[in-house]
A and B are shown apart, each in its own frame.
Chain A
Amino acid sequence: MNALTPQAYTTADGREIGDILMEIKNITLRFGGVVAIEDISFDIQQGEIRAIIGPNGAGKSSMLNVISGFYVPQDGKVWFRGAKRPAMRPYKVAQQGIARTFQNIALFEGMSVLDNVMTGRLTHMKTGIWSQALWQGRAKTEEFENREKVERIIDFLEIQSIRKTPVARLPYGLKKRVELARALAAEPKLLLLDEPMAGMNVEEKEDMSRFILDVNDEFGTTICLIEHDMGVVMDLSDRVVVMDYGRKIGDGTPDEVRNNQAVIDAYLGVSHD
């Protein structure tokens, strides 16, 4: 079905990157007369960390919103796990196994950290409303299983100490981590991170980078992330897509991208690194 054959490769740290998980084919997205994304295609392979970078207003977030179903493109299709995806609502996309975080953090502020992360398990809860309400039978085992998975993620992201804290009280950096935990709780086939390190200080950025790498390593989660900070992106990702004014101007490993003249002109040329 796929025109492109996946090019398996091995990353620097020896992970095998295999089949194509998602293929973005000729996506065009317009808001009225403004073209946010113009004819962009790329793919995301199983197990890799794929970054989308570009200057402000390049259309990175729009791209992520297309993948997660929040925007419906005028043209082009998203292929997921070998099948063309029809236009679907964001909650359907989530049910397919694509979890995401938001640039401006979208957490359930009134709930505790634990409850927030538990909502990530909603798509995995199958028992009926009555057995849940009566707390018996399969509902009980299911709840225990879900709790176990959630606790593992909470441990993993080192947020045990704030499990019961209402999210509204947490500092920014921790909120970002809770949001990541919620997305992970869904055991996503593809994890989308919208500027996971935006607004963080150096230390928080280092923590977050470590968590992203660990998640990819430990759970084998395929990750597609948008980031502003060039340094971070180059260290983190296996392959990078570069966007500028809604167009794709580069695609490849961090090293390839770094040496791409178009990219240097558009982005690195004005970088202050």
Chain B
Amino acid sequence: MRRSLVIYAVLLLLALLAPFIGMYPVFGMKLLCFAMFACAFNLLLGYTKMLSFGHAAYFGFSGYFTGWLMTIHGWNAIEGLIAGTAAGALLGLVIGAIAVRRQGIYFAMITMALAQLVFFVCLQANFTGGENGLQSIPRGSILGLVPLSNDLTMYYFVLAVFVAVYLLIRRIIDSPFGQVLKAIRANEPRSISLGYKVDRYKLQAFVISAAISGLAGSLKALVLGFVTLTDVSQGTSGEVILMTLLGGSGTFLGPVIGAGVVVTLQEYLSDLVGAWVSVIIGAIFVVCVMIFRRGFVGEISRFFTRRAAAQPEA
């Protein structure tokens, strides 16, 4: 417990100081948005063992919705983000209600197909700008008080939202609700026979995850000022899976680290190697599945647990 507190303190300090030690605030914000997205995804994959293959739908759709409200209707940042989160939750409720009826790969395929439906809706609807996406979305202000156009102000705002969401997710996992989710992960038929309404718990977890994904997508729309079809595409759904898997699904910090690695890779490699990026991402996928299924954090904590087991007095 103490060790993890130290780690968190160091990470938080690093995040607070990052803009002053050479990180571009915009890059940092993008990273935080994807980290939040991956944490939301991990809530499903890591703690309920539900592999959603269509999480880009909530991420992207909420981004569009927020962008549209702020550009066309002049909403401020807080209102836009709340609306985006609500849109994600609602979409999650509809899709989740259909998808939780099936398990395992069926669940994955159904979420994927329905996300593709959302993709085509975004491609053809009026408010999304079709192939061009939404451009020059204003960042607005916090309730009209603090303008967010400055990158540094925006960075600390995004960081604050991220920390709040992170703590919320931890709280959810540690709550009785989270315990039930873990029970479902461990043994679903047994949870049913113990009297838990498993489908309802799964749906709730799905909606929470979709809502947080929506928040992450809305935040990203504000940060970068644009939303494109890539954000709702199946490629993004795949990326968030990779982030979670690479960092370690079912760990608190894993998705954050995974998101950091993947976003950094994309940022620097896309200039260097062009379309080969997707080859590299695909190769990382293969390596992860073949020999690295616990992810970074999972492997590290296993290493420490093993060492502790070898020397019981230490």
**Do A and B assemble together?**
no
